Structure 1
Protein backbone atom coordinates (compact mmCIF):
# COMPACT_ATOMS: atom_id res chain seq x y z
CA UNK A 1 0.00 0.00 0.00
CA UNK A 2 2.77 2.48 0.85
CA UNK A 3 5.11 1.25 -1.88
CA UNK A 4 8.02 0.42 0.42
CA UNK A 5 8.97 1.39 3.93
CA UNK A 6 7.20 4.63 4.90
CA UNK A 7 8.95 7.53 6.59
CA UNK A 8 7.89 7.84 10.23
CA UNK A 9 7.68 11.05 12.26
CA UNK A 10 5.92 12.13 15.46
CA UNK A 11 4.72 15.48 16.73
CA UNK A 12 4.16 14.58 20.41
CA UNK A 13 7.58 15.90 21.48
CA UNK A 14 6.69 19.33 20.12
CA UNK A 15 2.98 19.47 20.96
CA UNK A 16 2.94 17.92 24.41
CA UNK A 17 -0.47 17.14 25.92
CA UNK A 18 -2.93 19.17 23.87
CA UNK A 19 -5.68 16.70 24.86
CA UNK A 20 -8.71 17.15 22.58
CA UNK A 21 -6.85 19.26 20.03
CA UNK A 22 -4.02 16.77 19.46
CA UNK A 23 -5.74 14.84 16.67
CA UNK A 24 -6.74 17.98 14.79
CA UNK A 25 -3.25 19.48 15.11
CA UNK A 26 -1.60 16.25 13.93
CA UNK A 27 -4.00 16.05 10.97
CA UNK A 28 -3.17 19.65 10.02
CA UNK A 29 0.58 18.92 10.30
CA UNK A 30 0.14 15.86 8.08
CA UNK A 31 -1.61 17.92 5.39
CA UNK A 32 1.07 20.62 5.71
CA UNK A 33 3.82 18.01 5.25
CA UNK A 34 2.11 16.73 2.10
CA UNK A 35 1.70 20.20 0.60
CA UNK A 36 5.27 21.25 1.42
CA UNK A 37 6.80 17.98 0.23
CA UNK A 38 8.76 17.40 3.41
CA UNK A 39 8.57 15.15 6.46
CA UNK A 40 9.51 16.88 9.74
CA UNK A 41 11.94 15.17 12.13
CA UNK A 42 10.93 13.66 15.46
CA UNK A 43 11.82 16.25 18.12
CA UNK A 44 14.70 15.34 20.46
CA UNK A 45 15.24 11.99 18.72
CA UNK A 46 18.72 10.95 17.62
CA UNK A 47 18.63 7.22 16.91
CA UNK A 48 16.69 4.12 17.89
CA UNK A 49 18.05 1.66 20.44
CA UNK A 50 17.15 -1.23 18.12
CA UNK A 51 17.18 -1.53 14.36
CA UNK A 52 13.71 -2.69 13.36
CA UNK A 53 14.13 -1.52 9.78
CA UNK A 54 11.94 1.56 10.30
CA UNK A 55 12.67 4.87 8.56
CA UNK A 56 12.43 7.23 11.52
CA UNK A 57 13.04 10.85 10.48
CA UNK A 58 15.58 12.54 12.76
CA UNK A 59 17.82 15.58 12.71
CA UNK A 60 16.45 17.58 9.78
CA UNK A 61 13.27 17.56 7.71
CA UNK A 62 13.46 15.08 4.87
CA UNK A 63 12.23 16.09 1.42
CA UNK A 64 9.66 13.57 0.27
CA UNK A 65 6.90 13.57 -2.31
CA UNK A 66 4.12 11.88 -0.39
CA UNK A 67 1.56 9.75 -2.18
CA UNK A 68 -0.20 8.61 1.00
CA UNK A 69 0.07 9.76 4.63
CA UNK A 70 -1.37 8.20 7.77
CA UNK A 71 -2.18 10.28 10.86
CA UNK A 72 -2.63 8.05 13.91
CA UNK A 73 -3.95 9.69 17.09
CA UNK A 74 -4.29 7.70 20.29
CA UNK A 75 -5.87 9.51 23.22
CA UNK A 76 -6.94 9.02 26.80
CA UNK A 77 -10.09 7.00 27.37
CA UNK A 78 -9.78 5.12 24.05
CA UNK A 79 -10.34 8.25 21.96
CA UNK A 80 -8.48 6.95 18.92
CA UNK A 81 -8.58 8.01 15.29
CA UNK A 82 -6.68 7.12 12.15
CA UNK A 83 -6.89 9.39 9.09
CA UNK A 84 -5.43 8.71 5.66
CA UNK A 85 -4.51 11.65 3.42
CA UNK A 86 -3.30 11.83 -0.15
CA UNK A 87 -2.46 14.83 -2.32
CA UNK A 88 -4.95 15.94 -4.95
Structure 2
Protein backbone atom coordinates (compact mmCIF):
# COMPACT_ATOMS: atom_id res chain seq x y z
CA UNK A 1 0.00 0.00 0.00
CA UNK A 2 1.32 3.42 -1.00
CA UNK A 3 -0.36 6.80 -0.45
CA UNK A 4 0.15 10.02 -2.38
CA UNK A 5 -1.76 13.18 -3.21
CA UNK A 6 -2.12 15.25 -6.37
CA UNK A 7 -3.39 18.45 -4.71
CA UNK A 8 0.04 19.71 -3.68
CA UNK A 9 1.08 19.68 -7.34
CA UNK A 10 -2.08 20.97 -9.05
CA UNK A 11 -3.67 23.25 -6.47
CA UNK A 12 -7.38 23.44 -5.77
CA UNK A 13 -9.31 22.78 -8.99
CA UNK A 14 -12.72 22.60 -7.28
CA UNK A 15 -14.89 20.17 -9.28
CA UNK A 16 -12.16 19.28 -11.77
CA UNK A 17 -9.72 17.83 -9.26
CA UNK A 18 -11.40 14.41 -9.25
CA UNK A 19 -10.97 14.13 -13.01
CA UNK A 20 -7.32 15.14 -12.89
CA UNK A 21 -6.68 12.67 -10.06
CA UNK A 22 -8.43 9.91 -12.02
CA UNK A 23 -6.11 10.52 -14.98
CA UNK A 24 -3.06 10.48 -12.67
CA UNK A 25 -4.27 7.22 -11.12
CA UNK A 26 -4.83 5.49 -14.47
CA UNK A 27 -1.46 6.72 -15.74
CA UNK A 28 0.23 5.33 -12.62
CA UNK A 29 -1.29 1.92 -13.31
CA UNK A 30 -0.41 2.12 -17.00
CA UNK A 31 3.21 3.26 -16.58
CA UNK A 32 4.11 1.99 -13.10
CA UNK A 33 5.27 5.45 -12.02
CA UNK A 34 3.64 6.96 -8.92
CA UNK A 35 3.96 10.70 -8.46
CA UNK A 36 5.51 12.08 -5.26
CA UNK A 37 4.00 13.82 -2.27
CA UNK A 38 5.62 17.22 -2.69
CA UNK A 39 5.74 19.67 0.24
CA UNK A 40 5.10 16.90 2.78
CA UNK A 41 7.58 17.94 5.43
CA UNK A 42 5.91 17.10 8.75
CA UNK A 43 3.64 14.04 8.51
CA UNK A 44 1.46 13.32 11.54
CA UNK A 45 3.39 11.30 14.12
CA UNK A 46 0.65 8.65 14.17
CA UNK A 47 0.92 7.96 10.41
CA UNK A 48 3.03 5.00 9.29
CA UNK A 49 5.36 6.90 6.97
CA UNK A 50 6.36 3.67 5.18
CA UNK A 51 3.08 3.89 3.22
CA UNK A 52 3.66 7.47 2.07
CA UNK A 53 5.26 8.11 -1.30
CA UNK A 54 8.28 10.31 -0.67
CA UNK A 55 9.41 13.55 -2.30
CA UNK A 56 10.38 11.79 -5.55
CA UNK A 57 8.35 9.56 -7.87
CA UNK A 58 8.48 5.79 -7.37
CA UNK A 59 8.26 2.86 -9.75
CA UNK A 60 5.78 0.21 -8.55
CA UNK A 61 3.93 -2.83 -9.85
CA UNK A 62 0.37 -1.54 -9.42
CA UNK A 63 -2.43 -4.08 -9.63
CA UNK A 64 -5.21 -1.71 -8.53
CA UNK A 65 -5.47 1.87 -7.30
CA UNK A 66 -8.05 3.78 -5.26
CA UNK A 67 -8.85 7.41 -6.04
CA UNK A 68 -10.71 9.36 -3.34
CA UNK A 69 -12.29 12.77 -3.90
CA UNK A 70 -13.65 14.62 -0.89
CA UNK A 71 -15.55 17.85 -1.46
CA UNK A 72 -17.37 20.45 0.56
CA UNK A 73 -20.86 19.66 1.73
CA UNK A 74 -20.48 15.90 1.50
CA UNK A 75 -19.73 15.69 -2.23
CA UNK A 76 -17.47 12.67 -1.90
CA UNK A 77 -16.59 9.79 -4.17
CA UNK A 78 -14.17 6.89 -4.39
CA UNK A 79 -13.34 4.73 -7.39
CA UNK A 80 -11.04 1.74 -7.81
CA UNK A 81 -9.11 1.40 -11.08
CA UNK A 82 -7.43 -1.79 -12.30
CA UNK A 83 -6.13 -2.99 -15.67
CA UNK A 84 -8.71 -4.63 -17.90
CA UNK A 85 -8.07 -8.35 -18.34
TM over 0.5: yes
CA distance in 2, matches of 1:10, 1:85: 16
CA distance in 1, matches of 2:76, 2:38: 22
Task: Give the unaligned 5+ runs of structure 2.
Answer: none
Deviations 1:1-29 (A, max 9, x none): xxxxx100001111211011011111111
Task: Give the unaligned 5+ runs of structure 1.
Answer: 1-5
Aligned residue for 2:66, secondary structure, equals strand
Counterparts of 1:1-88 in structure 2, within 5 Å, are: 6-46=1-41, 48-50=43-45, 52-54=47-49, 55-88=51-84
TM-score (norm 1): 0.84
CA distance in 2, matches of 1:8, 1:35: 17
Aligned residue for 1:82, secondary structure, equals strand
Preserved contact between residue 46 and residue 59 of structure 1 (Cα < 8 Å): no
Deviations 1:62-88 (A, max 9, x none): 110101100000011211110100112
Aligned residue for 2:48, secondary structure, equals coil
Compute the RMSD of aligned alpha carbons.
Answer: 1.4
